[in-house]
Amino acid sequence: MNYEETLAGLAKKDERIVVMTAENRALIRNMPALLGDRFIDTGITEQTMIGAAAGLALRGRIPVVHALASFLTMRAFEFIRTDVGIAHLPVKLCGYIPGFLSDANGPTHQAIEDVSILRGIPGMEVYAPADENDLVAMLPDMINSPNAAYIRINNKKMSYQHSDYVPGKAEVISEGNDITLLTYGLLFENTFRAKAMLEEKGYSVGMVNLRSLKPMDEELILNIAGNTSLIVTVEDHFLTGGLFSILAEIFLKNTITCPVFPMALRNRWFKPALLNSVFEFEEFTPEKIAEHTVRELENVLVSLK
């Protein structure tokens, strides 16, 4: 089932669900006919859409709202924080083309600080599926949770067979003593291929698909920290406030330290181009992820001697 079919199935069973959009219908084209007045398109008005979603939630609805991730999370940020966050309303925010998925649009469309700003809102959950299967697997729990939630929509088709989705738990792809690659969202595939390359070179490689950044599977992170020589975080997000920062918070809170190499965007927006060219230019191809990882691991091993 794809995203729209899954959402339609949930909405059919639960009258509380209303589907909203700020005129971004790419993934929900059939919803108007399916849902009638439970489909609400407010036009290009991200702020008004979020305010209205809060009003609908106040009346017992579960609004599932759609807009481009950058405008949803940043243009409407104060409405999310003030109307949804302060009131603890179960509004579900679905951001299209987050991170590198905005490919050639340019920096206006780059949501690469979304995880950072959304996870700072009390009660807000933050999800990042690796592909369409992962997306539809987590969707029911995200919608049924009593909390507000933001999801980096990623409907990429991939043949990888994920393990069952468990709320609050990351998906362990493999365990390894030398390296553990931590990633979320779109970069799952490139990271997975990097893992295969590293394994071919003889390294013992662990990999984790985090699935949700908030809640974060802290227990797993702490367990990995004690059992691998190097952790590599791979994310299409600014270095500040994303996965690397989350790890730093966890490790500081637990007074532990361990080698972590972050692959993230540093202090600038990424070069707009078609997706594969972005991977090349920003050095997020499987080859580059593997190459940087080996170099960092060697540095770590040298420093330990």
Partner 1 sequence: MNKAEIENLEIRSLNVREHIINMSAEGGCFIGASLSCADLIVYLYSEFLNVTPENLTDPERDYLFLSKGHDVPALYGTLAELGFIKKERLLNHLSTNDSIYWHPNRAIPGIEFHSGSLGHLPSVAIGVALDCKMKKQTNRIVVITGDGEMNEGTFWEALLVANAYKLDNLIFLVDRNHFQANIRTEDLIPLESLEKKFEAFNCSVNRINGHDFEEINAAFKGINTTGGKVNVIVADTVRGKGLPSIEARADRWFCNFTREETGALVRELHGEAKAKLESETLIVR
Q: Which is nearer to partner 1, 61 or 195 (CB)?
A: 61
Distance of CA 112 to the CA centre of its chain: 10
Cα-based distances in Å from 69 to 46, 229, 295: 10, 35, 34
Q: How far is the CB of 37 from partner 1 (least distance, A)?
A: 5
Q: Which is nearer to partner 1, 78 or 249 (CB)?
A: 78
Burial class from Cβ neighbours inside 10 Å (0-12, 13-18, 19+) for residue 6 reads middle
Q: How far is the CB of 33 from partner 1 (least distance, A)?
A: 17
Q: Does residue 151 contact residue 142 with C-beta atoms inside 8 Å?
A: yes
Percent helix / strand / coil, the chain, rounded to 5: 45, 20, 35
Q: How far is the CB of 8 from partner 1 (least distance, A)?
A: 18
Q: How far is the CB of 83 from partner 1 (least distance, A)?
A: 6
Q: How far is the CB of 165 from partner 1 (least distance, A)?
A: 30
Q: Which residues bind partner 1 (CB under 8 A)?
A: 37-38, 40, 42-43, 45, 47-61, 63, 78-79, 82-83, 86-87
Dig out the tokens for 240 from the structure: 């500040």
Pairing verdict, β 179-183 and 230-238: parallel
Q: Which is nearer to partner 1, 50 or 247 (CB)?
A: 50
Q: How far is the CB of 124 from partner 1 (least distance, A)?
A: 17
Q: Which is nearer to partner 1, 48 or 174 (CB)?
A: 48
Q: Does residue 128 contact residue 210 with C-beta atoms inside 8 Å?
A: yes
Burial class from Cβ neighbours inside 10 Å (0-12, 13-18, 19+) for residue 290 reads buried
Euclidean distance between CA atoms 39 and 7, whole angstroms: 12
Euclidean distance between CA atoms 178 and 231, whole angstroms: 9
Torsion of CA 220, 224, 226, 230, to 10 degrees: -150
Q: How far is the CB of 87 from partner 1 (least distance, A)?
A: 7
Q: Which is nearer to partner 1, 65 or 130 (CB)?
A: 65
